[in-house]
Amino acid sequence: MSTIDKVAWIHLRDGKILSTRSRGKDRFYLPGGKREAGESDVDCLRREVREELAVELRVDSIGYLATFQAQAHGHPDGVLVKMICYAAEPVGEPTASAEIEEWQWLGYADRERASVVDGLVFDWLRERGVLV
């Protein structure tokens, strides 16, 4: 079994979560991605969010939330994604860039539009009363 190591940004506003859809993909994913060699979680998160949404994350606001693991969407059975999630305050408003086709604020009713591991995040946030 192989595991994809991913770092993700959880950003909530008005009870909804910021989510992105890459060009050619049919599901929404939390902003973030795979770390490069020697890169810390924080460095990876900041780089990925900057590349995908053209916003900076305030370093002093970055905080670990939780880690989730599930079958990786679009990969063969047995390929898992481990997603380490952080909250952070952005500087500026998101703009789709790089491989991102669009971004949206999703509520719990949109859970099926997201990847499997993101669905676990939706459930976790709903249990805590912060995702409507």
Residue 3 has what pLDDT? 97
HSE-up of residue 43 (Cα within 13 Å, Cβ side): 6
What sign for the dihedral angle of Cα 41, 42, 48, 52?
Answer: positive
Q: Which pLDDT tens digit goes with each residue over 96-120?
A: 998 999 999 999 999 999 999 999 9
- pLDDT for residue 38 is more than 90: yes
In order, the DSSP letters of 65-124 are EEEEEEEPTTS-TTEEEEEEEEE--EES-----TTEEEEEEE-GGGGGGB-HHHHHHHHH
- Tell me the pTM: 0.96
Closest CA relative to residue 13, chosen from 83, 94, 95, 82: 94
> Domains, the chain, ranges and CATH?
2-126 (3.90.79.10)
